[in-house]
Amino acid sequence: MPRGFSEREKERIRSGLIDQGREFLTTYGIKKTNIEDLTG
């Protein structure tokens, strides 16, 4: 069974998604931003 993420890893992932989300939303707007953009 794969191990889960540590608290530090979870925070790094969360922070990265928030930063990327802000960047895409300000650049492309909400209608042109999708999950694939944020995780790709």
Task: Parse the chain into domains and list their residue ranges.
Answer: 7-39
| Residue 39 buriedness (CB in 10 A; 0-12 / 13-18 / 19+) | exposed
pLDDT on residue 1 = 82
Compute the C-alpha angle 2/17/25, nearest 5°: 150
pTM listed for this prediction: 0.72
| 1-40 confidence digits (pLDDT tens) | 889 999 999 999 999 999 999 999 999 999 999 889 888 7
- Alpha-carbon separation of residue 30 from 1, 15, 37 (angstroms): 37, 19, 12
pLDDT on residue 9 = 97
